[in-house]
Structure 1
Amino acid sequence: MPIYEYLCRNCGERVEVLVRSGSGAPTCPQCGSPLLEKLLSVPNVISRWGQPSGGGTCCGREERCATPPCSTGETCRRDR
Structure 2
Amino acid sequence: MKRTSVSKQKLRRDTNVPNKRQKTKKVRITLYTTGEKDYALRYLALRERKSLNRLMNDTFDSLLAENNINPTTLPDSMP
Q: Say which one has the larger Rg.
A: 2
Q: Same fold (TM over 0.5)?
A: no
Which structure dedicates a bigger proportion of its chain to helix? 2
**What TM-score does the superposition give when structure 2 sets the normalisation length?**
0.29
**What TM-score does the superposition give when structure 1 sets the normalisation length?**
0.28
Q: Which has the higher contact order (CA 8 A, sep 6+)?
A: 2
